[in-house]
Each structure stands twice: as structure tokens, then as C-alpha cells.
A and B are shown apart, each in its own frame.
Chain A
Amino acid sequence: SQTIHQWPATLVQPVGSPLSLECTVEGTSNPNLYWYRQAAGRGLQLLFYSVGIGQISSEVPQNLSASRPQDRQFILSSKKLLLSDSGFYLCAWSQAGADNEQFFGPGTRLTVL
């Protein structure tokens, strides 16, 4: 069966510090991968998605970036965090192609102080 992991689960970082959140998927190959942000009391905002290694689509211009160094690894990064980057970050995967369920990871709660 497939599983999706995210770490860390919780992170508190000062403004201006770098960020690296990691997501890995097990039990499948060539998945589509997604990063979402969920601000307090708000919906799911799609940040990045990837249909293959090295292929990243950015949905929202901001100070975040994403990379996919391996087939089942998706990394969310920032060189300098802003207060507005605080939120709940969710990674998700789906089988390639449309019409497929997205499976979400447990999320990372990021607080920028």
C-alpha cells in the first residue's frame, strides 16, 4: 500500500531564516506531487505541483520554491521566511493523469516569528 510522509510535523522559525520541508511517497512510482498551504481558517491554496522529476509548476508567485530531486521526493524551500509564510503545509500525491484521488500527508505546522 502507498504511504506519504512529511517532516517535520511542527516547525517554529524566525523571520528571515531558510526553510526546507520534505515529503516522500512510498509504494507507488511516477506519482503527481503537490504542495498546498492552508492558512488559519482558510482553504487549501495550491503552491506547486509536479508531474515528474525536475518538472515543477508554480501556481502562486512568492518567496517559496519547490524541487523534486527523486521520483517520490518533493521538497518545499525558502531562502528567507516571511511572517506571512506561517500556516499548515500539506503535501499530496495522486496517480498520473486526471480523475484521480489525491492523498494527503499529515502536514507541517509552520510558525514564523
Chain B
Amino acid sequence: GENVEQHPSTLSVQEGDSAVIKCTYSDSASNYFPWYKQELGKGPQLIIDIRSNVGEKKDQRIAVTLNKTAKHFSLHITETQPEDSAVYFCAAQSLRDDKIIFGKGTRLHILP
């Protein structure tokens, strides 16, 4: 089955700088890659996603890139702000079933 690895587990970034979180997946049949943000005590919420027919997608300060050959995908947050502090999860879904497999998460701290 699918396996998603996420790095780093913790990331501290100065406010205004950029943050990058990287993930790899194992199943070449995966074609949908969402990113979720989880604030303390709440359920995760989708912030951006990318499908396998696209290499990059951007939404204001957030961008995702996908390298299908290498089975890598990354989240980029530019001009970080205090409200970006949260846990971020990458995930991958295969065409084989309706399950989304999540990475272990990255705790992002934005330093003042």
C-alpha cells in the first residue's frame, strides 16, 4: 500500500521568511496530493491540493510542487506570518481506492 514520508517533523522560521515542507510517496498510482493545516485542538483543514497532471499550483502565499518521476511533492509558504504556526500534513491518494494516506506531520513555528 501507499506510504508517505514527511520532513521535517519540526520547523522554526523567522516571521517573513519562507517555509518548505517535503514529502515522498511510494505508490506510483497515486494521483491526488492534498495538504492539510491543523490548529491546536481542531480537525485538519485542506489548504491546497495538487493532481498528478499538474507540476505546480499556487494560491497567494502558498504553493505546492509535484515531481511524479521522483515521487516528491513539497509545500512552500512565503512571507510567513504568526497565524501560519500550526501542524501541516501532506497526503497522497491512489486511484486504487478512496483512502488518503497522511504523512506524520510538520509542526511549524513562526518566530517573531
Question: A residues touching B (Cβ–Cβ < 8 Å)?
Answer: 32, 42-44, 46, 49, 51, 59, 90, 92, 94, 96-107, 109
Contacts and interface: CB of A to CB of B under 8 A. Distances in A.
B25 interface: no
A46 B98 contact: no
Interface SS, B side: strand
B44 A104 contact: yes
Q: How large is the interface on B (under 10, 10 to 19, 20 to 34, 35 or more residues)?
A: 20 to 34
A56 to B, nearest CB: 13
Nearest 5 pairs of A and B residues by beta carbon: A104-B43, A43-B104, A44-B102, A99-B32, A43-B105
Interface in B1-45: 6, 31-32, 34, 36, 41-45
Given A42-B104, A98-B32, A101-B34, A32 B98 contact: yes
Given A98-B93, A103-B46, A104-B45, 19 more contacts: A42-B104, A42-B105, A43-B89, A43-B102, A43-B105, A46-B99, A46-B101, A46-B102, A51-B98, A59-B99, A92-B43, A98-B31, A98-B32, A98-B95, A99-B31, A99-B32, A101-B34, A105-B43, A107-B43
